[in-house]
Amino acid sequence: MRKIHLLPNLITLGNSFCGLLAIAKGIDALAFAQTDPGVFYSKMESACWLIFVGMLFDAFDGKVARMVGGSSAFGAQLDSFSDMLSFGIAPAVLAKILIEHEGPAFGYTVHPRLHFVAAAVFSIMAILRLARFNLETEPDESAHQFFKGLPSPGAAGALCSSMLMYLVLRDPGIENSEGSRTPLGMVLSSFPDLSHSHGLVWFLPFLALCLPGLGFLMVSRVRYVHMTSFLAGRGQFVTLVVLVVAAFCLYTAPVLAMFLVFNVYVIAGLLLSLRKRPQTEAEAGA
């Protein structure tokens, strides 16, 4: 029997734990929805942040495995199953919970089966994307420069950051840190009527459409840059500067920073793909 290194696999299981805990937080939020709406928003916010914590585990498990010489087929499969749970199933469940809880408050009513189908499409496409990734990814370094299709953490990040943005706009009180409002919370406090604005209703169909939209992007052939490899290729100094700037942005306005980073990443991949397609067709015609 091959030796299974414990540390990288424990880190991978940490990703799974975050996904399971996020789902549990979503269920708990529903339990408090009628008695204490504030708790609903707080627990949903915690659930979304747990998905991002899972991304940290996912980012480091492979690196730790290579450092300790513990890369294995078992670890690769465990990583895929963990990603399926944390980035495929948990975000879809949270989105369905949020949409169906908030819809009646704004008069947004769509048959629950449609929301289930949208969530199921996201989850199933994530599963298919991970299965294809396992079969098609080559061990050479060039295969890790780009993704074929939107990576599942990127899709989960775009969805969860959008949910976080809605939650903060709906209940600015959750934007607190160590007993004081965050910079974003201070800005939102200047608009006390924003949390009840009917304009927020557009977030709900937007989230519902994001589920299948992001799902199909995951199984598409749209090329997305592998950000870790991209930064590493720019040299240590540039990487250090980017990390410092990112840390300050996250400290100052974490929700807004995550919303912009993940959604810009999704849109940038689409725009670059559309830009390169006419060039490829012109070269083929020539």
Q: State how far the alpha carbon of 227 is from the alpha carbons of 106, 144, 266, 272, in Å.
A: 38, 10, 12, 15
**Residue 146 pLDDT:** 76
Structural domain contains residue 251: yes
Q: State how far the alpha carbon of 106 is from the alpha carbons of 11, 54, 113, 170, 229, in Å.
A: 41, 32, 19, 12, 43
CA 17: distance to chain centroid?
16
**Residue 140 pLDDT:** 47
The total domain count for the chain is 1
**Residue 1 pLDDT:** 40
User: CA-to-CA distance for 25 and 21, rounded, in angstroms?
Assistant: 6
Query: Within 13 Å and on the Cβ side, how many CA atoms surround 16?
Result: 12
Structural domain contains residue 131: yes
**Residue 286 pLDDT:** 44
**Residue 245 pLDDT:** 86
**Residue 187 pLDDT:** 73
Residues of the chain with pLDDT under 70: 1-4, 70, 137-145, 175-181, 185, 188-196, 227-235, 276-286
**Residue 34 pLDDT:** 77
Cα angle 10, 144, 237 (rounded to 5 degrees) comes to: 90
Structural domain contains residue 285: no
Rounded to the nearest 5 percent, the helix, strand and coil shares of the chain are 80, 5, 15
Structural domain contains residue 1: no
Tokens 């100052």 locate to: 252
Structural domain contains residue 63: yes
Taking alpha carbons only, the member of 138, 143, 145 closest to residue 233 is 145
Structural domain contains residue 77: yes
**Residue 115 pLDDT:** 92
Cβ pair 265, 146 in contact under 8 A: no
The amino acid at 167: L
**Residue 186 pLDDT:** 72
User: CA-to-CA distance for 242 and 231, rounded, in angstroms?
Assistant: 8
Structural domain contains residue 283: no
Structural domain contains residue 284: no
Radius of gyration of the chain from its Cα atoms, rounded to whole angstroms: 20
Taking alpha carbons only, the member of 107, 2, 15, 118 closest to residue 61 is 15
Q: Which two tokens stand for residue 282?
A: 């012109």
User: CA-to-CA distance for 192 and 143, rounded, in angstroms?
Assistant: 50
Write out the residue range of the structural domain in which residue 80 sits.
6-276
